DNA sequence: AATTTGACGCTTT
DNA sequence: AAAAGCGCCAAAT
């Protein structure tokens, strides 16, 4: 055992991802790349997806608030369908574009807001 | 122990 | 403007 806590060293980057995603306020969305960057891993955007799919905290981590860099939602097999996710975000107050994309221009979350 | 895959993002053709 | 490929690095098999 090192001086570090044996309680936190196991997740590393993933833990940061969960932290960041949990910080996303309602009515806002963040992109995988953005979360990855905030989590301290610029370029590890894919792991953000992995981390969210792992979903260690169902109900706590609003994975549906995390979208692609261009505002599109996850490939369809997640959440039970993009339409379901879109519905959810709309219910939270997120605006959508006619293309079926999240209006990042209005709902893009920033750290510290 | 090594190889393959992976909720992505960006650059290049 | 659109499509394809490459890159990141860790986890799962």
Distance of A20 CA from C10 C1′ (whole Å): 19
Containing domain of residue A77, as a range? 13-107
Say if CB A71 and CB A103 are below 8 A apart.
yes
Number of folded domains that form chain A: 1
Catalytic residue, candidates A20, A21, A36, A63: A63
A6 lies in a domain? no
**Segments in chain A forming alpha helices (H):** 13-22, 32-38, 45-54, 82-92, 104-107
Q: Is pLDDT at A46 greater than 80 in this prediction?
A: yes
* pLDDT greater at residue A55 or residue A97: A97
* Residue A3 domain-assigned (yes or no): no
Residue A107 annotated among the catalytic residues of the structure: no
Q: Which residues contact A73 (CB under 8 A, 6 or more apart)?
A: A67, A82, A85, A86, A100, A101, A102
Residue A5, domain member (yes or no) = no
In-domain check, residue A56: yes
Structure confidence at residue A66 as a pLDDT band (50, 70, 90)? very high
pLDDT of residue A75: 80
The separation, in Å, between residue A73 CA and nucleotide B7 C1' comes to 9
pLDDT > 90 fraction of chain A, expressed in percent and rounded: 62
Q: Which nucleotides of C are covered by protein (CB under 7 A)?
A: 7-12
Check residue A4 and give its pLDDT. Answer: 42
Q: Hey, what are A62's tokens?
A: 């609003």
Within-domain flag for A7: no
The per-residue pLDDT for A79 is: 82
């Amino acid at each position: 055992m090192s001086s570090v806590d044996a309680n936190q060293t196991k997740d590393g980057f993933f833990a940061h991802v969960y932290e960041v995603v949990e910080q996303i306020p309602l009515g806002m969305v963040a992109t995988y790349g953005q979360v990855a960057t905030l989590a301290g891993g610029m370029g590890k955007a894919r792991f953000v997806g992995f981390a969210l799919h792992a979903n260690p905290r169902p109900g706590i981590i609003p994975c549906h608030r995390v979208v692609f860099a261009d505002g599109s939602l996850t490939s369809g097999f997640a959440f039970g369908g993009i339409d379901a996710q879109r519905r959810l975000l709309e219910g939270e107050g997120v605006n959508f574009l006619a293309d079926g994309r999240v209006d990042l221009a209005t709902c893009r979350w920033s750290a510290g807001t």
